[in-house]
Amino acid sequence: MKIAILGAGAMGSLYASYLAPIHDLTLLDSYKPQVDKINSDGIIKIEKDRSEIRFSVKAVLSGAPIGIQELVIVFVKGIHTYDAMKENMSLLGPDTIVMTLQNGAGNNRDIGQFVPKERVIVGTSSHNSVSMGLGKFYHSGCGPTNIGPDFPCDSSLNDVNKVASALEQSGLTINIMEDIQKVLWQKLMVNCGINALSTLMQCQIGEIYYNPFLWDLCQKIVHECVKVAEADGSIFDPKVALQIVQSVCENDAEGYASMYQDRQNKRITEIDRINGVVASLGDEYGISTPCNHMLVTQIHAIEQMYFHTER
């Protein structure tokens, strides 16, 4: 399959390491040194047992005219989705499928401005990947990729099956989900509970569960999410929601959340699309979400500090 991945960061490179050996794959990124390094040295994946594997992958600058693709996978941060799609419209033909496995809410809407909604696949990735510098990443957590149509209809279900089998051929575990919207809510809760807290504490993902003070806070955050999800039409048992967060903490214990990696690299985070979405939906539905509101403010305060040195 002819596949392009937008964003050659931690996750784009991880999925490229699976897909490039089997498919005609190109990575597109906006950072030239990253593109050059991948073209000269390939991408290097470090596994949990510290073994290193090198993969040859083609990379080009975002916007390069590499022709119409059968599948475009979006792996830029949510705040860059619209721009990445706009820059790369030349990859989109009448049958191109666009898939987002990004975290946070709103990516499908941004993508839907460039592609009919029947051709958009949404989903979640249970992998965790930590960037270790140009062209190198640590694969700190492994798990299934859950996908489903953004707008269920016969043609979109065919597309989902086609993409699932192409990804499975590459060794990825794919679950086609009937209720993908519920899965997206569940992943949002995981990100709400883990990402901002571990960014504030500058800690590994496992610490959120192993440290009783952080786990207490995490439970409060997730309980707020469960109430907002319920008002939004997705019902979760709070115990089950927390068990899922706990299992992510255990599975990715030695990894770092993508938001913490943003803090380390002084990049604007996805906070408004994660805890920010729960806080504003809570306001809309009249549900109090003080923990999620507080996290949004604290992360924005950290972002402000990137640009200060001394006063």
Ligand X SMILES: NC(=O)C1=CN([C@@H]2O[C@H](COP(=O)(O)OP(=O)(O)OC[C@H]3O[C@@H](n4cnc5c(N)ncnc54)[C@H](OP(=O)(O)O)[C@@H]3O)[C@@H](O)[C@H]2O)C=CC1
Which positions lie near ligand X, rule CB under 6 A? 6-12, 28-31, 34, 62, 75-78, 80, 83-84, 87, 102-103, 125, 127-129, 131, 258, 270
Residue type, position 49, single letter: D
The neighbour count for residue 169, using CB atoms within 10 Å, is 14
Q: How far apart are the first and last CA of the chain?
A: 54
Minimum distance, C-beta of residue 181 to ligand X, in the bound complex (Å):
17
Which of these, 75, 97, 113, lies nearest to 3 by C-alpha position? 97
Considering the complex, state which of residue 22 and residue 64 has its C-beta at the smaller distance from ligand X. Answer: 64
* Contact pattern from residue 24 through residue 43 relative to ligand KPL, giving x for each residue in contact according to CB under 6 A and a dash for the rest: --------------------
Considering the complex, state which of residue 97 and residue 188 has its C-beta at the smaller distance from ligand X. Answer: 188
Q: Quick check: 278 binds ligand KPL (CB under 6 A)? A: no
Q: Quick check: 242 binds ligand KPL (CB under 6 A)? A: no
CA distance 81 to 62: 12
Minimum distance, C-beta of residue 75 to ligand KPL, in the bound complex (Å):
11
Q: Quick check: 258 binds ligand KPL (CB under 6 A)? A: yes
Minimum distance, C-beta of residue 208 to ligand KPL, in the bound complex (Å):
9
Angle between helices 212-231 and 290-306 (to 10 degrees): 110
Minimum distance, C-beta of residue 288 to ligand X, in the bound complex (Å):
26
Member of 252, 277, 282, 289 binding ligand KPL (CB under 6 A): 252
Minimum distance, C-beta of residue 128 to ligand KPL, in the bound complex (Å):
3
Member of 194, 228, 242, 281 binding ligand KPL (CB under 6 A): 194
Strands (E), the chain: 2-6, 24-29, 43-46, 52-55, 58-61, 71-74, 97-100, 120-125, 128-131, 136-141, 145-149, 174-176
The neighbour count for residue 183, using CB atoms within 10 Å, is 19
How many CA atoms, within 13 angstroms, populate the side-chain half-sphere of residue 25? Answer: 27
Minimum distance, C-beta of residue 43 to ligand KPL, in the bound complex (Å):
18
Residue 190's binding partner among ligand X, ligand KPL, none (Cβ under 5 to 8 angstroms by kind) is: ligand KPL
CA distance 19 to 1: 9
Residue nearest ligand X, Cβ-based: 9
